[in-house]
Structure 1
Amino acid sequence: MGKRAKPEEIIAKQREVEVRLARGETAASAARAVGVTEQTYYRWRKEYGGLRVDQAKRMKDMEKENARLRRAVSDLTLDNQILQEVGAGKVLSPSRRRAVVDHVVEELGVSERRACRVIGQHRSTQRKQPIQRDDEDALTSTIIRLAERFGRYGYRRITALLRNDGWHVKEKRVYRIWRREGLKVPMKQPKRGRLWLNDGSCVRLSPAHKGHVWSYEFVQDRTHDGRVFRMLCVIDEFTRECLAIRVERKLNSRDVIDTLGELFVRHGAPEHIRSDNGPEFIATALRDWLERVGVKTLYIEPGSRWENCYCESFNSKLRDELLAREIFFDLREAKILIEAWRQHYNTARPHSSLGYKPPAPKAILPAAFMPPYYEEVAA
């Protein structure tokens, strides 16, 4: 294959042919003298006729630039088509990127190298074949079963339950399966307002040991017939243990005294007890009785429920995991299910602030008094 002539060489040979033509030579002999055919000479004259050397060189540079711009536009158009084929949103996980790259290569016919570059997938990651573990199917089915049973638990609490059952598994592996199976993630917690640091606030007086500070509050719900019932929830703020949930149609200050009296006999009287400013809690009879037994009262600022954060957190879990998911046809059924959930909360449910350990793992009811649902979990 001969060497391709440069534009300046072509123009020089063209000028030589023109000189020979001016002397009277024929076009064929003049073209043969410069080493080309007559047809090539006429093609050169059509392409470079009347141009100087610098103009021809500039024209060639412009042609190269135009070709480069056309390739760039073509590349951008193809990249845009690849991104449109991927769809809206980001593809974050390597497995999903691997599937997207395969789809783009099949649909658009582009190379794997180009698809990986546009999507942001490393080629070694694309060609790596994932190796499935032997226990992957069993672990996946176990995670799905736990997620169906405890619909409001996240992957961290599910990991703790798996470890209690004997699985040696890390959180990131459970999270990968959790995302792959599309399991529900708990809703985001709303932003909290600033703490006003009242004397009864949990910031001013935080629990330091078991029996230091208790807190209690009322929670309200309805049975299936629309009738209201109330729950008195009492917790130990340090251990997070729910000491009692009394369920009645109506509860007043006398019922609060009866419940606290039973708990004081069973667990001992706490040093402080925290509550809001409800009429049952600020009643004179209750305050005088607490003063006689040596328990100091802590009242939060009106309208500042976050100052009683431990009890509010427990109440939200009670409503989210039980009250919002169960239908109570009568008060007796409500008492049984709520008490069963309380035992499960104390003995089996992993608590994030306790290193995913239950608040009171030794306080397990006998099997005869525990419903099958929670009996299996506690076992």
Structure 2
Amino acid sequence: MPRKSFTPEQIINKLREAEILISQGTTLAVMLKKIEVSDCTYYRWRQEYGGMRIEQAKRLKELEVENTRLKKLVADLSLDKAILKEAAPGKLLSPHKRQQIIERIQSNLKVSQRRACQVLYQSRATQRRSREIPGEEKRLVADIIELASKYGRYGYRRITALLNERGWRVNHKRVERIWRTEGLRVPKKQPKRSRLWLNDGSCIRLRPERKNHVWSYDFVTARTADGRAFRMLNIIDEYTRKCLAITINRRLTSEDVIDQLFNLFIFRGIPEHIRSDNGPEFTAKAIRKWLTRLGIKTLFIEPGSPWENGYIESFNGKLRDELLNLEIFTTLAEARVLITDWRRQYNQVRLHSSLGYRPPAPEAIMAVVTT
């Protein structure tokens, strides 16, 4: 026998009928039989609707319906908030990016595709459309990811130059589109400083004009895994951007500076000028007298103005950003090996935007000439 369902009005009328029968001396069993309900149902009705009028029962029903609607609304808002939180912060600009996020949301939150698309404003037709990538595009994406993984601090412009070196014929706009689609990180750009020139274009610091015209040198400090510090003497040619030498030791003095310069002068020639800061190793009387006897002019920057020695400061920043901040040196010997390898890569492989995306001293491929 199917279970009967009663409206609140019918329940109140039956309770009133039961009260009348009981007031007339009718037993509970006879009364329940007459109103056609069980004793459990009767007592439950008395607990929920006892003493109510029909208008109050109607209002209670309306409040229950409203409460159910509000609960559903709160649940929907909570679900929408969870979907937006699961999506990446910021704007999802490309349909492909939204497609990937929606698939992830469906997997993690177990929501329907319709609901996720509605919250993230993605057309379901666009979501269901399969993205076909040509074979050449797949190889290009793979090469971009490989280079970005190998050179983590390179931006898409330098990656474009490396791709062209590999034989690809792509421009930076196409690489930038793939770069953003794959979610690769673009290094933060540093603001350019125009401190070496006055407003009328006149130079207040000597600008390099040719090879061996101006050299720069400076010290950089790092630490091994045991916390002990070591120093590096970096020497570069400002015109060619080539790193001439990196001397590494726990302690470096003015005598070490003279020894390194002596080796470079023998094998690379004597520069016309050497630019440095006002550190005691560079301003020592022994170094200044020795350089003066060789006919080399010293260029000291103003105290507290590292931007006036911008070439070597830029080199130091690249060294720290691309190597020192990424490696843990267990010993000084390991540091020497890794830094020497990075110097070779910097001179022969790394593409410099100031040189038209060419390395300062590219690796030469010697052809065998037969006679």
Equivalent in the alignment of 1:312: 313
How far apart are residue 257 of structure 1 and its match?
0.7
1:129-278 matches, cutoff 5 A? 132-189=133-190, 191=191, 195=195, 204-278=205-279
How far apart are residue 119 of structure 1 and its match?
6.9
How far apart are residue 146 of structure 1 and its match?
1.7
Q: Is the alpha carbon distance of 1:173 and 1:209 closer, same or farther for their aligned partners in structure 2, counting shifts above 3 Å? A: same
CA shift digits 1:1-21 (9 cap, x unpaired): xxxxxxxxxxxxxxxxxxxxx
Equivalent in the alignment of 2:351: 350
Distance in 1 between residues matched to 2:171 and 2:197, nearest whole Å: 39
Indicate the percent of aligned positions where both proteins have the same amino acid: 57
Give the match's secondary structure for 1:302.
coil
CA shift digits 1:213-236 (9 cap, x unpaired): 110000001111111110000000
What TM-score comes out, normalization by structure 1 length?
0.63
Equivalent in the alignment of 1:107: 115
How far apart are residue 192 of structure 1 and its match?
6.3
Structure 1 gaps, min length 5: 1-82, 365-379
Q: Is the alpha carbon distance of 1:144 and 1:99 closer, same or farther for their aligned partners in structure 2, counting shifts above 3 Å? A: closer
How far apart are residue 334 of structure 1 and its match?
1.0
Give yes or no for contact 1:202–1:308 (8 Å, CA) kept in 2. Answer: no
Equivalent in the alignment of 1:61: none
Give yes or no for contact 1:157–1:356 (8 Å, CA) kept in 2. Answer: yes
Distance in 2 between residues matched to 1:278 and 1:109, nearest whole Å: 62
How far apart are residue 96 of structure 1 and its match?
4.3
Distance in 2 between residues matched to 1:192 and 1:306, nearest whole Å: 10
Equivalent in the alignment of 1:17: none
Distance in 2 between residues matched to 1:284 and 1:315, nearest whole Å: 26
Equivalent in the alignment of 2:61: none
How far apart are residue 138 of structure 1 and its match?
2.2
Deviates more, 1:275-284 or 1:327-336: 327-336
Corresponding letter in the other structure for 2:325: A
Q: How many residues align?
A: 274
Q: Is the alpha carbon distance of 1:203 and 1:250 closer, same or farther for their aligned partners in structure 2, counting shifts above 3 Å? A: same
How far apart are residue 350 of structure 1 and its match?
0.8
CA shift digits 1:67-110 (9 cap, x unpaired): xxxxxxxxxxxxxxxx9998874443354478899999933999
Distance in 1 between residues matched to 2:231 and 2:117, nearest whole Å: 66
Give the match's secondary structure for 1:185.
coil
CA shift digits 1:260-289 (9 cap, x unpaired): 111111111111110000000000100011
Distance in 2 between residues matched to 1:294 and 1:148, nearest whole Å: 47
Corresponding letter in the other structure for 1:185: V
Give yes or no for contact 2:277–2:301 (8 Å, CA) kept in 1. Answer: yes
Give the match's secondary structure for 2:275.
strand
Q: Is the alpha carbon distance of 1:196 and 1:210 closer, same or farther for their aligned partners in structure 2, counting shifts above 3 Å? A: closer
Structure 2 gaps, min length 5: 1-79, 107-111, 366-371
Give the match's secondary structure for 1:232.
strand
CA shift digits 1:175-224 (9 cap, x unpaired): 222212212221232x46773769xx985211111111110000001111
Q: Is the alpha carbon distance of 1:134 and 1:210 closer, same or farther for their aligned partners in structure 2, counting shifts above 3 Å? A: same
Distance in 2 between residues matched to 1:260 and 1:245, nearest whole Å: 11
Give yes or no for contact 2:216–2:237 (8 Å, CA) kept in 1. Answer: yes
CA shift digits 1:340-364 (9 cap, x unpaired): 1101000001111111110111479
1:16-165 matches, cutoff 5 A? 89-93=90-94, 95-96=96-97, 106-107=114-115, 132-165=133-166
Distance in 2 between residues matched to 1:100 and 1:280, nearest whole Å: 56
Corresponding letter in the other structure for 1:195: R
Corresponding letter in the other structure for 1:107: R
Q: Is the alpha carbon distance of 1:119 and 1:263 closer, same or farther for their aligned partners in structure 2, counting shifts above 3 Å? A: same
Give the match's secondary structure for 2:257.
helix
Give yes or no for contact 1:213–1:270 (8 Å, CA) kept in 2. Answer: yes
